[in-house]
Amino acid sequence: MTRAALLLLADGRFPAGGHAHSGGAEAAVRAGLITDAASLEEFCRGRLHTSGLVAASLAAAAALGVDPGDLDAAADARTPSPALRAAARRLGRQLLRAARATWPCAGLDLLARRFPKGAHQPVVLGAVAQAAGLEPLDAAYCAAYESVGGPATATVRLLGLDPFDATGVLARLAPATDRVADRAVRAAREALDTGVDALPAASAPLLEISAEVHAARTGRLFAT
């Protein structure tokens, strides 16, 4: 394996469709919940410990070899918003396309055949990490970091937030990101032994509700 593959996979420029999504930040900005760096940090911290933790656990479990069909169903059960479920599958499909061209292998071809319309993005992310020779912890880091990196980048565009303030937010969240990734891997190992019910189901109701409001809104900049 090469750890450098993690840099490629976690890079926001990896061409897998993430740039069109704000991770709920646009809806939060519109609702007046994110107005500056401090409120962005609170938003990201909440997201990291809820949907970020769930995504990291799914990714780690997929990288460990837990059945992707079981994981995709587990992701559905943990994503009440139909708009977010649809977006997660679209992003999963886009990631799989990019990854199959980047790290061609039979395992990813099989996944594409099994989920022609896409599996939840974190599930695909775990499988891709495995195909790239990475560890479950790497997959968990990738998912956890994405859960806050996306909203931070989007907020720079939405609010004209100072980009240095946004990177400062992400740096301050690094210790929490470490803990989330560790916890995700522990849960994934348990899921390997006892089934996907062992995975965290931390929910952020406001993210789910505002995603539905956002999906119905015209004049939005980001898809989610």
Partner 1 sequence: MHLHHPHDGHGHGAPAPSGAAARRPDGTRRALRLGLGGPVGSGKTATVAALCRELRSELSLAVVTNDIYTREDAEFLLREAVLPPERITAVETGACPHTAIRDDISANLEAVEDLEDAVGPLDLVLLESGGDNLTATFSRGLVDAQIFVIDVAGGDDIPRKGGPGVTTADLLVVNKTDLAPYVGSDLDRMAADAKAQRGHLPVVFQSLREEAGVDRVAAWVRERLAAWRA
Residues of the shown chain interacting with partner 1 in the complex, contacts defined by CB under 8 A: 13, 15-22, 90, 93-95, 97-98, 100-101, 104, 106, 109-110, 112-113, 116, 154, 157-158, 218-223
Of 32 and 219, which has the nearer Cβ to partner 1?
219
d(CA 52, CA 167): 18
In whole angstroms, how close is the CB of 202 to partner 1 at the nearest point? 26
In whole angstroms, how close is the CB of 200 to partner 1 at the nearest point? 28
Chain-centre distance of CA 131, in angstroms? 18
Alpha-carbon distance values, 58 to 32, 94, 98, 109, 216 (Å): 31, 18, 20, 20, 28
User: What's at 108, amino acid-wise?
Assistant: L
In whole angstroms, how close is the CB of 223 to partner 1 at the nearest point? 4
User: What's at 41, amino acid-wise?
Assistant: E
The token pair at 145 is 């970091």
In whole angstroms, how close is the CB of 148 to partner 1 at the nearest point? 17
Of 53 and 72, which has the nearer Cβ to partner 1?
72
In whole angstroms, how close is the CB of 215 to partner 1 at the nearest point? 11
Of 108 and 191, which has the nearer Cβ to partner 1?
108
Of 189 and 220, which has the nearer Cβ to partner 1?
220
Of 101 and 174, which has the nearer Cβ to partner 1?
101
Work out the number of other CB atoms within 10 angstroms of the CB of residue 192. 16
Secondary structure (DSSP) of 64-75: HT--HHHHHHHH
